[in-house]
Amino acid sequence: MRPALTTVQIFALLAVVVGTLVFAASFAVDTTSARPEPVSFDNTVQRGITMADEQIARNRSISVPRAQVFYSQYRYVVGYVGIDQAVTSLTEPGHEQQFGYPLAVYVSDYSDRPVRCSDDGYLRTAAPPDWVEANQAHYVVDSSARVPSGEAVVPFADRDDAAAFAETCGGRIIDWDTLKTRSFDLEQAGAVRKQVGPRRTDADATVQAAREHRDRPVSVEVGTDAPTIQAAVDAAPPNTTVAVPAGTYDEQVTIDKPLTLSGPGATLDGGGNGTVVTVTSDGVGVTGFDIVGVGNATVGDPTKANDSAWDATVTTAYGNSDAAVTGRNVSGLYVANVSVETPASGVVLRRTPGAVVENVTVNGTTDWQDGFMGVIGMHGPIVVQDSVFNGGRDSVYLHRADGTAVRNNTFRDNRFGVHLMYTSRSLVADNVARGQEYAGVVVMTNPVANAIVGNDVRHSGSGVMMAGSRSYIAHNVVVDTDQAMSTNADRSLYEHNVLYGNDIGVRASTVVPSNIVTENDFIANDRHAVSGPGPLRVYTHDGRGNYWSGAYDLTGGSGPVLAQSYSPTDSVDRRLDQTNAAIVLRSAPSVRGLRALRGTTPGFRRGSIVDRAPLTGPANPETVERLGNETSMEGAT
């Protein structure tokens, strides 16, 4: 039975509803005002480029054409890094309904600038471009000029300047209307959903190739043919196995040829000073060891970075942690059936495409602030699967490791379970995370096209925290967290997630709400959703919304969706599962009128979420039933 509200409380709720809507109305855009002038690009809400590409452009002095758009129903100016990004957004179905029509669109103007496509193909200019109205510009497409994300579309106010650029760099000239009909090869969230299966298949192929290292013939046995492991490695012919019998071996080992080091029952003790196994050759396997005595250095000296890459400092600091196994600039490394005790990292992989870590247990520090990473993957795709990570800072930390697969692992008591930095097009699937202080899965630095699917996060600070764009977040279960999910992402698809018993179900934090959120289950959360500044977020797609426990249909209708919309951020709706009086208040004519006004008037759209077709039952009934049974059993014990 819901507790009843007093008359005073009911009127207080009504006052909150009216006050919130009147306050929001103050941000309505005056569409009759004079045409807006361009603003500094730093003052726009920026979209369209990953932070990795942005850093590369800045480091190499690459000029990236930009656009800025003023919308009739959006109080912020939206800046697009890349003309292709702007065109794709402006022509997306439903875009105008969400933001209104474009009041003005400006693009970079390279006229009267010494602009060139340099020897490496990148677009460069000695002076920053100015702005020109998009429909007055002439666009050079299909030229040899590139930006870090791909082909450059280069705008000019003067057609003669465009022709001169095309004569030097190739390409052809088109106008704005023709450009808007052009299809750019940008990965969308729906396409990422279709890639989940192929990404699993690709990971399977990578694992199968690495597992071939297990089948090499034994050439040298430690203790019989050589006195130490290092002596055995030095003596063994390439593409063979060094067998290490059971026992404890006090040494550090470097493998500089394609070998498999196999030691079921053997303990390798590095003496607490530095990395225990260092791999400097392609095609190496390390299997079957207990590795202890790892040094306690968690970071290298960033002042000793010896290259000019924009991330050299980070690579030097994070990539030089002491570890049980370290591989650098090698391919096909296979680390399996290894148990690690470490005050620093477990496995460090730098530029190791095709590396596989499987069936590994890494026991880090009890306090995550004292330790480091279970696996570090940098500058190349790896596979981490079927492993357990206890303690330490992050279980799996990725930096510019595009295309990585992290699947079927268990993470316990870390800062983050999986931490993606500057990493795109990866698969984070079917992992179990428990007791993370901050988050089970966190994606930072605006990458693109990541798939976060089938993960189970519980008893953590947060569940799945997303940034970036065009990603797919689906079939995840998040239970008992401070905040289950954030939608601080862009043009991403959230579907079939179950957010159960959290303080907050979802936080809509991006100021450019372009995500699809549909067929998720919000159950028994203290607050199903909260929303930051921005226009109305519509959590409905193709006529189907989400299931919100407590959503109530006053019409008494039946069917797959409720007859009335539901707003989890509404002062009344969000209390429907807490008090009967909220149901009564929801039916008041004044409240119904204000709700209708909020849904149609741009100024009334600030910081709100609405589901126009809330589901009458869970979208994922089997998962919800299982969680309900588990919760009941926990309560009984």
For residues 254 and 280, give the distance between their C-alpha atoms in angstroms, rounded to a whole number.
Answer: 7
For residues 180 and 83, give the distance between their C-alpha atoms in angstroms, rounded to a whole number.
Answer: 10
Mean pLDDT computed over 73-90 = 92
Sign of CA dihedral 179, 182, 185, 188: positive
- Label residue 599 by pLDDT band (50, 70, 90): very low
Which position has the higher pLDDT, 75 or 16?
75
- Label residue 554 by pLDDT band (50, 70, 90): low
| pLDDT tens digits along 363-396 | 999 999 999 999 999 999 999 999 999 999 999 9
Which position has the higher pLDDT, 536 or 393?
393
Cα–Cα nearest to 465, from 444, 449, 442 = 442
CB 549 within 8 A of CB 616: no
pLDDT for the residue numbered 31: 42
- Label residue 21 by pLDDT band (50, 70, 90): very low
pLDDT for the residue numbered 550: 87
Q: Is 85 helix (H, G, I), strand (E, B) or coil?
A: helix
Q: 19-23, 170-174, 176-180, 408-412 — which is least confidently predicted? A: 19-23
For residues 489 and 365, give the distance between their C-alpha atoms in angstroms, rounded to a whole number.
Answer: 32
Mean pLDDT computed over 463-485 = 97
Cα–Cα nearest to 155, from 135, 170, 169 = 135
Judged by phi (left if over 0) then psi (alpha if -120 to 50, else beta), residue 468 lies in left
CB 365 within 8 A of CB 371: yes
pLDDT for the residue numbered 487: 86
- Please give the distance of CA 431 from its chain centroid, rounded to a whole number: 15
Angle at 574 between CA 572 and CA 580, to 5 degrees: 65
CB 85 within 8 A of CB 186: yes
Mean pLDDT computed over 109-130 = 94
- Label residue 53 by pLDDT band (50, 70, 90): very high
pLDDT for the residue numbered 556: 61
For residues 280 and 272, give the distance between their C-alpha atoms in angstroms, rounded to a whole number.
Answer: 21
Residue 449 has pLDDT above 50, yes or no: yes
pLDDT for the residue numbered 596: 52
pLDDT for the residue numbered 62: 97
Mean pLDDT computed over 440-465 = 97
Q: 8-17, 66-75, 260-269 — which is least confidently predicted? A: 8-17
Q: For residue 11, give both structure tokens.
A: 């009127």
Mean pLDDT computed over 115-129 = 94
Residue 6 has pLDDT above 50, yes or no: no
For residues 36 and 539, give the distance between their C-alpha atoms in angstroms, rounded to a whole number.
Answer: 31
Residue 626 burial (CB count, 10 A): 13
Mean pLDDT computed over 484-499 = 93
pLDDT for the residue numbered 427: 98
Mean pLDDT computed over 496-502 = 98
Q: For residue 205, give both structure tokens.
A: 């192929």
Mean pLDDT computed over 24-34 = 43
pLDDT for the residue numbered 637: 54
Distances (CA, A) of 551 to 524, 545, 562, 567: 11, 12, 9, 9
List helix spans (H) across 37-94.
51-59, 83-90
Residue 590 burial (CB count, 10 A): 11
Task: List phi, psi (to 5°) of 166.
Answer: -65, -35
**Burial class, 128, CB count within 10 angstroms (exposed 0-12 / middle 13-18 / buried 19+):** exposed
CB 596 within 8 A of CB 610: no
Q: Which position has the token pair 């396409």?
A: 191
Per the prediction, the chain carries an average pLDDT of 89
Residue 598 has pLDDT above 80, yes or no: no
pLDDT for the residue numbered 577: 55
- Label residue 8 by pLDDT band (50, 70, 90): very low
Q: Which helix (H) or strand (E) holds 464?
A: strand 462-465
Q: pLDDT over 70 for what percent of the chain?
A: 87
Residue 579 has pLDDT above 70, yes or no: no
**Burial class, 63, CB count within 10 angstroms (exposed 0-12 / middle 13-18 / buried 19+):** buried
pLDDT for the residue numbered 342: 98
What is the pTM (predicted TM-score) of this model? 0.89
Q: Do the strands 138-141 and 172-174 form a parallel or antiparallel pair, or are they unpaired?
A: antiparallel
| pLDDT tens digits along 208-241 | 999 999 999 999 999 999 999 999 999 999 999 9
CB 69 within 8 A of CB 78: yes
Mean pLDDT computed over 169-189 = 92
- Label residue 246 by pLDDT band (50, 70, 90): very high
State the Rg of the chain over Cα: 28
- Label residue 10 by pLDDT band (50, 70, 90): very low
pLDDT for the residue numbered 379: 97
Residue 17 has pLDDT above 60, yes or no: no
Residue 348 has pLDDT above 70, yes or no: yes
Mean pLDDT computed over 603-607 = 47
CB 601 within 8 A of CB 528: no
Q: Do the strands 115-117 and 102-109 form a parallel or antiparallel pair, or are they unpaired?
A: unpaired
